[in-house]
Amino acid sequence: MRVVDRSTARNFMKYLNTARSNYAETNKRIASGNRFEKISEDVVAGTKVMRLRTNLCKAETQLDNIKSAQEELRAAETAMTSINDVLTSAYAEKIVAALSEEKGELGRIAIADELKSMLNQILQYANTKHSTRFIFGGSNSSYTAPFSLDSNGKLLYNGIDVDLIQQDSDGSYYYMNAGVKTKINLDTDVFIDVGLGIKLKGSSIDPNTGFKVSFSGLELLGFGKNDDGLSNNLYNVLSEIEYCIRNYDGEKLNKLQTHFRTLCDSYRTNLTNIGAKSNLLDTMEERLKNSIDGYKTHINTLMGINDAEEVMNQSMNEYVLKAVIQMGSKILPITLMDFLR
């Protein structure tokens, strides 16, 4: 086989170019810290990285949502606890005191006045706003507070008398308006995505897949009437108690007191519910933080370089490059001509 200068030179240049580009490639990898940047350099790993990016984005968004939900819960808990304190004070001290004969009329009127101011406090706490939404107003984000009083001092929720409100089997509230079943306005549930696999049922969110951050005031303070015709609403009951104390209707007062105690007990379940919700959020937060770490690590594994391996590749490539150049300097210029006299 004839060895020809032209093909020796051409092949040498090919090897040299390959060695150079490998060396440059290694340097680029070490400088950028990434094994590849373009999708064509590693298609399989690249598509995995893109999918992981999407998952990472979802998880980080969900984590942000959890943080704002936790703030809302804290605000709700504060308001609920304040109401609870008022209710406890009303029941344990004022009503009991009023029932005992010692107070006398002036004493009872004084207690009635105190109860009136407590009612005011309950109303204010119930109308707490967190950012743009009323905490206990369902989806109410308007400028009108959810709880107000009618001319008789009875509680209205979003303009409807709470005693008239009933609950449907699917959990939504309604009242009968001239024989027509009408939904309570501004009282839909608000859900956010905290990583429970949020899905839509029709055009609204499936309640099992989202985290509810709204509270209906009706859940909180009660609604409708019980079998004895007494209001189930804490405010209305307390309001009646205040009226009874002021006008000393002892028999009714006894019935109301018992009923009020039952309502107060069931009110406290709200606080335990908040506790449970808060725990759920903490668990989800922990899980999401782990997921986020996991995704970031996985992306790094796919895209990042193994430092030790890459540095070793770099010295290998450098060695190869030098060897090729040296070899070229030995074989290219030497011909028979150099050895003739």
Partner 1 sequence: MRPTFLGFEAAKTAIFTNQKALDIVGNNLANVNTAGYTRQRVERSSIAPIYSSKVASNRVGMTGQGVKALGVSQLRDSFLDKCFRDEYAKASYHAQATDILTAIQSAITDGNDLTSYSGIQGAIENLVSSLNDFINEPTLDSSANIVMSAFKNICQVLNELDEKLTVVAEQQIDDLKTTVSRVNEIAASIAHLNETIAKDAAALGGTNEHFKPNELLDERNLLLDELAGYGDIKVTQLSDGTVSVEFGGHRIVSGNKSDSLAVHVTDEKLVSVYWRSTGDKVQLNGGSVWADINFINGRGSNVQSGDESTVQGIPYYRDRLDSLANALATLANSAIPEYDPATDSPKLDANGKIVYKTLLAPSQYSDTSGRITAGNISLSVEWTQTGPGYFIYNRNEAVEDYAQKLASALVDTRFTFQSYGETFTGTFAEFNVELLGRLGADITYHKGRHEATASVADDFLDRRDEISGVSQDEETADMIMYQKSYEAAARLMTVLDEMLDILINRMGRVGL
Q: Which of 51, 181, 268, 296 binds partner 1 (CB under 8 A)?
A: 51
**Would you say 126 and 147 are in contact if contact means Cβ atoms under 8 Å apart?**
yes
- Which residue, chain included where needed, has tokens 């709204």? 214
Q: For residue 194, which of 72, 90, 286, 284 has the smallest C-alpha distance?
A: 284
Q: Which of 146, 195, 210, 222 binds partner 1 (CB under 8 A)?
A: 210
CB of 138 to partner 1, least distance (A): 8
Distance of CA 211 to the CA centre of its chain: 7
- Answer yes or no whether residue 340 interacts with partner 1 by CB under 8 A: yes
For 62-111, strand residue ranges (E) read none
- Answer yes or no whether residue 9 interacts with partner 1 by CB under 8 A: yes
Which is closer to partner 1, CB of 3 or CB of 31?
3
* Contact positions with partner 1 (CB under 8 A) in 80-99: none
What distance in Å separates the CA atoms of residue 229 and residue 164, rounded to the nearest whole number? Answer: 11
Beta strands 173-177; 166-167: pairing state? antiparallel
CB of 195 to partner 1, least distance (A): 11
- Answer yes or no whether residue 2 interacts with partner 1 by CB under 8 A: yes
- Answer yes or no whether residue 332 interacts with partner 1 by CB under 8 A: no
Compute, in degrees rounded to 10, the torsion defined by CA atoms 13, 18, 23, 27.
120
* Contact positions with partner 1 (CB under 8 A) in 133-162: 133, 139-144
Residue 134 CB contacts under 8 Å (≥ 6 apart), including other chains? 127, 128, 140, 141, 145, 146
Beta strands 129-130; 166-167: pairing state? unpaired
- Answer yes or no whether residue 312 interacts with partner 1 by CB under 8 A: no
CB of 280 to partner 1, least distance (A): 18
Q: Which of 58, 212, 246, 298 binds partner 1 (CB under 8 A)?
A: 58
CB of 198 to partner 1, least distance (A): 6
CB of 59 to partner 1, least distance (A): 11
What distance in Å separates the CA atoms of residue 20 and residue 41, rounded to the nearest whole number? Answer: 18
Hey, what amino acid is at 309? E
- Answer yes or no whether residue 204 interacts with partner 1 by CB under 8 A: yes
Tell me which stretch binds partner 1 (CB under 8 A): 54-62, 260-268, 272-280, 289-297: 54-62
What distance in Å separates the CA atoms of residue 155 and residue 194, rounded to the nearest whole number? Answer: 35
- Answer yes or no whether residue 300 interacts with partner 1 by CB under 8 A: no
DSSP lists the bridge partners of residue 173 as 167
Coil, helix or strand at residue 226: coil
Q: Which of 177, 185, 254, 262 binds partner 1 (CB under 8 A)?
A: 185
- Answer yes or no whether residue 180 interacts with partner 1 by CB under 8 A: no
What distance in Å separates the CA atoms of residue 317 and residue 235, rounded to the nearest whole number? Answer: 82
Q: Which of 15, 20, 46, 255 binds partner 1 (CB under 8 A)?
A: 46
Tell me which stretch binds partner 1 (CB under 8 A): 59-67, 100-108, 159-167, 265-273: 59-67
Residue 284 CB contacts under 8 Å (≥ 6 apart), including other chains? 62, 66, 194, 195, 196, 211
Q: Which of 191, 215, 260, 267 binds partner 1 (CB under 8 A)?
A: 191
Task: State the residues that interact with partner 1 by CB under 8 A.
Answer: 1-7, 9-11, 14, 34, 36-40, 43, 46-47, 49-51, 53-54, 57-58, 60-61, 64-65, 68, 131-133, 139-144, 185-186, 188, 190-193, 198-200, 203-205, 210, 214, 303, 335-337, 340
